[in-house]
Amino acid sequence: MILPTDYQRNGAGNLVDYIRRDREQDAGKTVDLRNPAGRELSDPEVNRFVDKSQEFGFQRHLIVSPDPTGQYSPQEVQTNTRELMNREFAQQPTTDYVYGVHQNTEFPHAHVAATGEPAELELDREDIQQLREQAATVFEEPTRTRDPAATARDAPENPGRVVDQEAREQFHEAELSLNPDAEKALKRASEKSQQKEVGQPTAEKERAESKPEPLSEGAAERPEEQAATERELESEPEPEAERERGWWQ
């Protein structure tokens, strides 16, 4: 489970626009934005949420990205994200949130925009870790991601190549900053990962070829002579300046 988050002391207008943009269509199309009850919001309702965030002057952005090996459907990501956020914010009287699921990658993931009193939305490192663990529980990780029989029940017909975690992390970091070209970061990270996987056998081969050959009997005696010479050199006093530089290094 990857669950990056940040907060800004301003309204959520830009964040909401980022979440709603449909990057597959990108021609006036939008991603469905939903409320804590799971109901799709109308444009006036979205505007009211943005107005509320401007009144609080505070918004938090969370990205819920489950392990792709679980082959979660967009509907599952939507349902589980709502359950997770309702658990997290249920006892916070001023907090409100909206969320949407992005399907423009091989791994569906959800974006959440939350607003409310700053004291309710401030999270420290321990809070974020607990939220990540709770998310793994809601999404049935790691059981589902390790059990092939479990992942098959709702698996898409063409799940595509599973992107490694490092590439996903770089992608979501770009998304967290609302970078409209986040997909480019994902593509670069994925290509780098593939090159690393392809190049690994070659690197191992080079290391194997670089191993020194066994020494002959005559050569085996030379290291002892060299060591004796080095000991003699070490016994010679070095200049004062050299000793001082060596100490600081």
Q: Is residue 246 part of a domain?
A: no
Query: Domains in the chain: how many in total?
Result: 2
Are 130 and 86 in a shared domain?
A: yes
Q: Which domain does 169 fall in, by range?
A: 163-197
Enter the DSSP assignment of 123: -
Same domain, 84 and 132: yes
One DSSP character per residue, 65-112 reads B--GGG---HHHHHHHHHHHHHHHHTT-TT-EEEEEEE-SSSS-EEEE
* 187, 106: one domain: no
CA distance 20 to 32: 7
> pLDDT tens digits for 137-153?
999 998 887 655 544 44
Give the tokens for residue 173.
């970091």
Res 233: pLDDT: 45
What span, in angstroms and rounded, lies between the C-alpha atoms of 227 and 17? 70
For residue 141, tell me if it sits in a domain: yes
**Angle in degrees, 0-180, between the axes of helices 182-209 and 165-176, rounded to the nearest 10:** 150
Mean pLDDT by 10 residues, the chain (249 residues): 92 93 61 94 95 94 93 94 94 95 90 95 92 95 69 45 77 89 73 59 47 48 50 48 33
Q: How do residues 227-245 score in pLDDT, each as one tens digit? A: 454 454 445 554 444 333 3
CB 9 within 8 A of CB 60: no
Give this prediction's pTM.
Answer: 0.70
Q: Are 179 and 86 in the same domain?
A: no
